[in-house]
Chains A and B, each alone.
Chain A
Amino acid sequence: AQTVTQSQPEMSVQEAETVTLSCTYDTSESDYYLFWYKQPPSRQMILVIRQEAYKQQNATENRFSVNFQKAAKSFSLKISDSQLGDAAMYFCAYRTTGANSKLTFGKGITLSVRP
């Protein structure tokens, strides 16, 4: 079974600075998808960024980028120029390439942004 581990329960960053959130996963599959989701307080979860395992190039979405290390099974999220609106819980998630695209989530990390 696949597992996703987020070992840092909380992190804090100064506004306009850069922060990196860590995630590791375990799988025996060679092809899969990885995601970072953001869950603001009392608001619904939204997709931040996704990475296909077969792609060597790291995904980027504006201020958000990932460092995908397939051999190490590591998938970290970098947030540049942090903004107050980035404060939220962030979940790392894994999905197989099979027909049932259920997501396997980590425990999440709470990010706070200091003004």
Chain B
Amino acid sequence: DTGVSQDPRHKITKRGQNVTFRCDPISEHNRLYWYRQTLGQGPEFLTYFQNEAQLEKSRLLSDRFSAERPKGSFSTLEIQRTEQGDSAMYLCASSSGLAVSTDTQYFGPGTRLTVL
């Protein structure tokens, strides 16, 4: 078990370009979360998957953002027509979801996006 991994770790793009990030959760974790963290702030919830079903999306997730988890394993987060305000650290977390009382989220190292 190597923990939650994210790729790429850093992404620099020009405004208006599309970018896609990948998250590989801990194997057999059926819950997967995406958060966004801007400088000097705590992470903010973006969206959540239970297996392949996307069960909740934050208002922060505008129409330019889309997330998928096609086979209930890895997930992708795509941002279309990037804006400078999208510059942030994008964090992925996973949890086993076996019991709410013991559910613990394990975080990946994040993808730092810089939009020029």
Contact = CB atoms under 8 A, between A and B. Distances in A.
Contact of A101 (B3, B91, B95): B95
Interface stretch (A14-22, A40-48, A71-79): A40-48
Contacts of B104: 47, 50
Contact of A99 (B3, B100, B107): B100
B91 A105 contact: no
Nearest to B97: A101
B107 A101 contact: no
B43 A91 contact: yes
Given A44-B109, A46-B107, A101 B100 contact: yes
Chain A: interface size category? 20 to 34
Interface string B37-60: 000111111001010000110000
Contacts of B105: 47, 101, 103
Chain B: interface size category? 20 to 34
Interface of A: 4, 6, 37, 43-47, 50, 52, 91, 93, 97-108
Contacts of B42: 4, 6, 91, 93, 105-108
17 contacts: A43-B109, A44-B4, A47-B104, A47-B105, A47-B106, A52-B101, A93-B42, A97-B100, A98-B100, A100-B55, A101-B31, A102-B33, A102-B56, A103-B105, A105-B44, A107-B42, A108-B41
Contacts of B95: 101
A93 B104 CA distance: 12
B40 A103 contact: no
Given A106-B42, A107-B40, A108-B42, A100 B107 contact: no
A102 B45 contact: yes
B108 interface: yes
A99 B30 CA distance: 13
B92 to A, nearest CB: 10
A49 B91 CA distance: 20
A10 B33 CA distance: 28
